[in-house]
Amino acid sequence: MQLTQICLAAAKGLALILMFTLVACIDLKQSIEISDDFASYQMETRMNAALAQLDAENLGKFCESNDDLQVEVSGSLKKTIKQSYEGEDIVCRMEIVGPIQEFGEQMSEMPKGDLTRMLNFQMVDETTLRIESTFEPSGDMIASSAEEKAMISAMMQGRVLTWSVKAPRIIESSGEISADLTQVDWSVPMAMAIQSPHTFTATVKVALPWYQPVLDLFS
């Protein structure tokens, strides 16, 4: 991803004093909420604004021009990108909303790349959605020495890669499923995520039959 590569470039090419001034580098959070055959997907990235400035001619349009957020949608799907500032971070939020069937179809047809490996949605059948989201660092993201690894770990301190899914029913997942089976959460420290591939998976029901509450009483 572009943002992660900025962090790695900083760790490999900037003076130590600058790197440790910009200790916190990037958070990446993804979530999807499914209700009434409608999906709302959000990707949020948080990055130290001073570090982002090093890669942006116009910081005011940093999120709008970010390669990581260039997803094309059509039809009934709508995409928005918003930029804000929280503390020392610049925050980019991309949201895609629309009918779940069309959402699943368009996402599954997207050309596969760094971003779309994290946006892998497949409609298994009319009521079942499969999510398989892989964060896979490219070769230039991986530390080549113990010194680089230590510097990157310092920059990523406290930063996380997370997924959250809310749906009528979670069938299975690699994350932690809530007791009522309607939410799953998953997280990995970003310092670990940039060293090797990490995959989040979840299979969910996008709709339940009208009699499901009765069945749940006896389960």
> What does the pLDDT look like over 13-25, one tens digit per residue?
443 333 333 334 6
Say if residue 178 is exposed, middle or buried (CB neighbours under 10 Å; 0-12, 13-18, 19+). Answer: exposed
Q: List the domain range (segments joined by +) for residue 172.
A: 2-217
Most confident of 49-58, 94-103, 119-128, 176-185: 176-185
Q: Closest by alpha carbon to 31, among 168, 133, 169?
A: 133
pLDDT band at 1 (very low <50, low <70, confident <90, very high): low
> What whole-number percentage of the chain has pLDDT above 70?
68
Residue type (1 letter), 141: M
Checking if the pLDDT of 40 tops 80, the result is: yes
Residue 184 has, within 13 A of its CA and on its CB side, a CA count of 24
Average pLDDT over residues 188-203: 87
Task: Determine the average pLDDT of the residues in 167-188.
Answer: 95
* Number of structural domains found in the chain: 1
Q: Pairing relation of β-strands 160-166 and 26-35?
A: parallel
Q: What's the confidence (pLDDT) of residue 216?
A: 66
Q: What is the mean pLDDT of residues 28-48?
A: 88
Give per-residue burial for 126-155: e unless 16+ CB within 10 Å, then b. ebbbbbbbebebeeebebeeeeebebbbbb
Out of 31-35, 65-69, 98-102, 110-114, least confident range = 110-114
Give the Cβ contact number of residue 25 at 10 Å: 28
The lowest-confidence range among 19-28, 84-93, 103-112 is: 19-28
Q: Indicate if the pLDDT at residue 31 is higher than 90.
A: yes
Model pLDDT for residues 118-146, shown as the tens digit of each residue: 778 888 888 898 998 888 776 555 556 67
Is the pLDDT higher at 120 or at 30? 30
pLDDT of residue 63: 81
pLDDT at 168: 93
Which one has a higher pLDDT value, 7 or 96?
Answer: 96
- Does 183 score more than 80 pLDDT? yes
Q: Is the pLDDT of residue 32 over 90?
A: yes
Contact (CB, 8 A) for 12 and 149: no
Query: What percent of the chain has a predicted confidence (pLDDT) above 90?
Result: 26
